[in-house]
Amino acid sequence: MSLITINAGGTTITTSDHQFATYAMALLEDQQDQGAPSDVPPIGAEWPGQGGINGGLCRGRDGQPDYYLIFAKVDVAGLKWGGYGNESKATSKWDGLANTTALIEEGGHPAAEYAASVEADGHADFYLPSQAELMLGWVNVPELFSKEWHWSSTQYSSYGAFYTYFTGGYTSSSGKYGEFRVRAVRRFIR
């Protein structure tokens, strides 16, 4: 009987079952392929050269690649969403970049305009996060946010937009004339 030994991450498996060894190797390779690259800082840590804090991996939608959310190091208070009474094309619950682009094109949206103006570490591609991206911030890096309301880029209606309340971790809508906090975000695709 010949034995097969597999070493991975400090664990050693020895077996005589070739089928099991093949299966175990495939699982280990799959885990290595899906794991974060070794140069990715932990969630919540500053990402050198990327302009902010690693907010975690966000799943791409509609055929788009997965991407890391990089939250700006600072936020700003007292910005209106803007466009009260007007319909906006910024309705994606997932794509804050597309929402912010629409808001900038429409004009009169202070929260999105501020987010798009943020520059850090040579990056000028920040935007106002979508409802889902902001909730991912609450899930992964709540300590980064003031325990207050933060605007998302997702419109609720012609009179309201979604926000996330970081004290309780819920999302709801409020009148676009309200003044809430804004933390810009950018994408990093590997």
Q: What is the pLDDT of residues 11-34, one digit of tens each?
A: 566 666 666 556 556 555 544 444
Within a domain: 39: no
Task: Indicate if the pLDDT at residue 35 is higher than 60.
Answer: no
Q: Where are the alpha helices (DSSP H) in the chain?
A: 18-34, 96-106, 110-117, 131-140
Same-domain check for residues 85 and 26:
no
What pLDDT digit, counting tens, does each position of 136-187 carry?
999 999 999 888 999 999 999 999 999 999 888 889 999 999 999 999 999 9
In a domain, 73, yes or no: yes
Residue 184 belongs to some domain of the structure: yes
- pLDDT at site 19: 64
**Same domain flag for 62 and 128:** yes
Burial 70-82 (b: 16+ CB within 10 A, else e): bbbeebeeebbbb
Q: Please say whether the beta carbons of 93 and 130 come within 8 A.
A: yes
Max intra-chain CA distance, the chain: 77
User: pLDDT by residue (tens digit) across 57-112?
Assistant: 998 888 889 999 999 999 999 999 999 999 999 999 999 999 999 999 999 999 99
Whether residue 85 is found in the same domain as residue 27: no
Give the pLDDT confidence score for residue 31 in this predicted structure: 47
Q: Are residues 85 and 30 in the same domain?
A: no
Q: Is residue 63 part of a domain?
A: yes
**The predicted structure's pLDDT at residue 170:** 85
Give the per-residue pLDDT at 37.
56
Whether the pTM exceeds 0.95: the reply is: no
**Domain count of the fold of the chain:** 2
Q: Is residue 78 part of a domain?
A: yes
Please state, in angstroms and rounded to a whole number, the distance separating the CA atoms of residues 85 and 19: 64
Q: Are residues 173 and 101 in the same domain?
A: yes
CB neighbours (10 Å) of residue 105? 12
41 occurs within a structural domain: no
Q: Give strand pairing partners of 36.
A: none
Q: Which domain holds residue 167?
A: 46-188
Same domain, 12 and 96: no
Domain assignment of residue 10, yes or no: yes
Same-domain status, 158 and 101 = yes
**Comparison of pLDDT for 102 and 2, the residue scoring more:** 102
